[in-house]
């Protein structure tokens, strides 16, 4: 029986949406007030959905503490209380939109996943990142 | 009777006091002392107290309250780095406490005749909020 489990995490960070290959005017037009030179910030929520068989002994689809450690090492510690543009390597060149942030979270988790779960166990199905109540990005991997 | 209205803004801030040393700032504010800043989706709930007008049935026209919130709070705070762009946070640490007091001060004089400002509640995250009810 395949079961999906979703775990939620939160971090607070600041960012500025600005693309260096566009003009100042284009940036203002595309990103609006998110282009404010001093930046602004959000309470980001990350939801990770994992999918797999329920272990008959533990009754669990995923070792939650292993997932928490992975989220802590790969996302929360590097992003929490940070200025994303200045302090996260990927966003020195990429604009930290919700889409790019979701993709970076997804990339980091996938890279570290085999190490955390020793090649067995659950599969990361979906990364969902909520920037505000009204702005949510989902990255889904279907097999 | 009390009515309240809720609005949201996104902003960044740096929790550091110029009157404390670097070590003290880090001890007091922890990760929030990061000099490059971090941010929140702030939720502000403003409550107004009064008796409903016998004709309109309203304490205060909610459209008017929304306009006041837009002008006095959102236009000032939304998508800003509070320490650099919002007075008095060039001098005062923009904690949730000080934000609630500042919003109170910005709103208290413009609520109208029938009503008075009752409280300003600032939620910095889902598990932290502060409330200010003025100097009474």
- Domains parsed from chain B with CATH numbers: 2-132 (3.30.479.10)
Query: Are the beta carbons of A83 and B11 separated by less than 8 Å?
Result: no
Spell out the residues 6+ positions from residue B62 whose beta carbon is closer than 8 angstroms to its own. Answer: B3, B5
* DSSP code, position B41: E
pLDDT number for residue A119: 64
Rounded distance between C-alpha atoms, residue B91 and residue A106, angstroms: 40
Rounded distance between C-alpha atoms, residue A55 and residue A45, angstroms: 28
Of A8, A132, A9, nearest in space to A79 by CA: A9
Which of A38, A43, A86 faces B40 most closely, judged by CB atoms? Answer: A43
Q: For B121, how many CA atoms within 13 A lie in the half-sphere containing its CB?
A: 17
pLDDT number for residue B14: 97
Rounded distance between C-alpha atoms, residue B79 and residue A39, angstroms: 7
Count of pairs with CB atoms under 8 A, one residue in A, one in B? 77
Residue range A75-102, pLDDT digits in tens: 999 999 999 999 999 999 999 999 999 9
Which of B38, B79, B125 faces A83 most closely, judged by CB atoms? Answer: B38
Residue range A104-126, pLDDT digits in tens: 999 999 999 999 998 677 999 99
Quick check: A139 and A49 in contact, CB under 8 A?
no
* B13 compared with B62, residue with greater pLDDT: B13
Quick check: A43 and B12 in contact, CB under 8 A?
no
Query: Are the beta carbons of B38 and A43 separated by less than 8 Å?
Result: no
Asked which of A22-26, B63-67, B76-80, B111-115 is least confident by mean pLDDT, the reply is B111-115
CA B48, distance to chain mean position in Å, is 14
Tell me if chain B has a CB within 8 Å of the CB of A55.
Answer: no
Return the percentage of chain A with pLDDT > 70, whole number.
98
Interface test with B, best of A9, A10, A13, A14 (most B CBs within 10 A): A14
Tell me if chain A has a CB within 8 Å of the CB of B136.
Answer: no
A143 pLDDT higher than 80:
no
Query: End-to-end alpha-carbon separation of chain B, Å?
Result: 18
Residues of A with CB below 8 A from B125's CB?
A: 10, 12, 43
pLDDT number for residue B136: 66
Which of B8, B84, B125 faces A12 most closely, judged by CB atoms? Answer: B125
The pair phi, psi for residue A5, each rounded to 5°, is -125, 135
Tell me if chain B has a CB within 8 Å of the CB of A81.
Answer: yes
pLDDT number for residue A4: 93
Query: Are the beta carbons of B125 and A15 separated by less than 8 Å?
Result: no
Beta strand pairing call for A2-15 and A82-83 = parallel
Give the residue on B whose Cα is nearest the Cα of A17.
B79
Rounded distance between C-alpha atoms, residue B24 and residue B17, angstroms: 9
Query: Are the beta carbons of A40 and B80 separated by less than 8 Å?
Result: yes
How high is the mean pLDDT of chain B?
Answer: 95
- CATH superfamily of domain region A2-140: 6-pyruvoyl tetrahydropterin synthase/QueD (3.30.479.10)
- 3-state SS string over chain A? CEEEEEEEEEEEEEECCCCCCCCHHHHHHHHHHHHCCCCEEEEEEEEEEEEEECCCCCCCCCCHHHHHHHHHHHHHHHHCCEEHHHHCHHHHCCCCCHHHHHHHHHHHHHHHHHHHHCCCCCEEEEEEEEEECCEEEEEECCC
Tell me if chain A has a CB within 8 Å of the CB of B55.
Answer: no
State the pTM of this model: 0.88
């Amino acid at each position: 029986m395949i079961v999906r489990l979703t775990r939620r995490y939160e971090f607070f960070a600041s960012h500025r949406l600005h693309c260096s290959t566009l003009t100042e005017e284009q940036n203002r037009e595309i990103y609006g007030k998110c282009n404010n030179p001093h930046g602004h910030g959000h309470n980001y929520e990350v939801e990770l959905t994992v999918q797999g068989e329920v272990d008959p002994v533990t009754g669990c689809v995923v070792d939650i503490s292993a997932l928490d450690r992975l989220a802590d090492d790969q996302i929360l510690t590097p992003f929490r209380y940070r200025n994303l543009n200045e302090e996260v390597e990927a966003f020195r060149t990429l604009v930290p939109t919700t889409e790019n942030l979701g993709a970076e979270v997804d990339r980091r988790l996938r890279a570290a996943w085999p190490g955390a779960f020793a090649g067995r166990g659950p599969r990361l199905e979906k990364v969902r990142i909520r920037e505000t109540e009204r702005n949510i990005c989902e990255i889904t991997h279907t097999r | 009777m009390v009515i309240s209205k809720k609005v949201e803004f996104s902003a960044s801030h740096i929790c550091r006091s110029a009157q404390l040393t670097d070590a003290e700032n880090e001890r007091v504010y922890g990760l929030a002392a990061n000099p490059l800043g971090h941010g929140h989706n702030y939720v502000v709930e403003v409550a107004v107290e009064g008796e409903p007008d016998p004709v309109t049935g309203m304490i205060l026209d909610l459209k008017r309250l929304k306009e006041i919130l837009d002008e006095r709070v959102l236009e000032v705070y939304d998508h800003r780095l509070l320490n650099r762009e919002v007075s008095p946070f060039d001098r005062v640490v923009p904690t949730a406490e000080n934000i609630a007091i500042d919003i109170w001060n910005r709103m208290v004089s413009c609520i109208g005749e029938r009503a008075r400002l009752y409280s300003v509640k600032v939620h910095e995250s889902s598990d932290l909020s502060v409330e200010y009810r003025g100097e009474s």
